[in-house]
Structure 1
Amino acid sequence: MLHVGFLVLEMFLWTKPQGRAVFRMTPERAEATRVLAANQGLYNGFLAAGLVWSLVEPDPVLAFKLKVFFLVCVVVAAIYGAWSVKPHILLVQGGPAILALLFLLSAS
């Protein structure tokens, strides 16, 4: 659900007051980075789609592999975001994915 929220925030609310408030941006900065944010939002949408696919996939082996793959993608993206933007991203984006990955691996 986080990635669906990120998609909405980055693709549709980036230049709106709600989006600017989340990232503490001026209207000018939001407009200047609008295309980059939309690209990030699209990426988050693909991650959300992959995770949803892993939940509805009827083949349990494939479903497990999809869950692991997409959760690892989220963790890698969070590590990169923490390194390149701000460390807090690791907690907000990576934390839930790391927990989900740990639960998934411990349950198998």
Structure 2
Amino acid sequence: MLAFTLGLVAVVGLEHLFIMCLEMFWSTGRIAQQTFGSDSSFLEQPQVKAIFKNMGIYNGFVGVGILWSLFALPTMEMRAVLILFTGFVVVAAIVGAVTVSRRIFVVQGLPALFAVLCVLLFL
């Protein structure tokens, strides 16, 4: 179960690095249009691009924090940091589900929630 837990946490971290790239670098592409349910004319507006870059950097911080803790910290410290960062993802996904789309909780929140539970139980 330890390998499963660490793998699940890594997936959450990598997911947030992907979200960062989507929001910061690929925000006007086809995948972004499908993901955000917006057309390219909206996504190409300078204000929208700036907002996406801002959101992306925060997702990047979360992803890096999760992955850094997996590879750079001893087990007890890693456990605390993973609970903190994956907990951030769960809370952000709840806010996103309430304010934007329930799909956010399914895509981001559920994996993070399972990761938090696995860290609490198996790490």
TM over 0.5: yes
Percent of matched pairs sharing the same residue: 34
State the aligned residue count: 108
Which of residues 34, 53, 56 is equivalent to 1:38? Answer: 53
Find the residue that maps to 2:28 and give its secondary structure. Answer: coil
Bigger relative contact order, structure 1 or 2 (CA pairs below 8 A, ≥6 apart): 2
Distance in 1 (alpha carbons) for counterparts of 2:35 and 2:87: 25
Is 1:29 matched with 2:39? Answer: no
Aligned residue in 1 for 2:16: 3
1:15 match: secondary structure: coil
Query: How many angstroms does 1:84 deviate by?
Result: 1.1
Cα root mean square deviation, aligned: 1.2
User: 2:6 aligns to what?
Assistant: none
The one-letter amino acid paired with 1:87 is: R
More deviation, 27-36/17-26:
17-26
Q: List, as ranges, runs of 4+ consecutive aligned residues in structure 1 with deviation greater than 4 Å.
A: none
Which consecutive residues of structure 2, in runs of 5 or more, have no partner in the other structure?
A: 1-13
The answer to whether 1:19 aligns with 2:32 is: yes
Q: Deviations over 1:2-32 (max 9, x none)?
A: 1011011111111123322322312221023
Q: C-alpha separation between the residues in 2 aligned to 1:103 and 1:68?
A: 10
Using structure 1 for the length normalisation, give the TM-score. 0.92
CA deviation string 1:19-56 (max 9, x = no partner): 22322312221023111111111111000011011101
Shift of 1:59: 2.0
The alpha-carbon deviation at position 72 of structure 1 amounts to 0.4
- Please point out which of 90, 93, 110 is paired with 1:75: 90
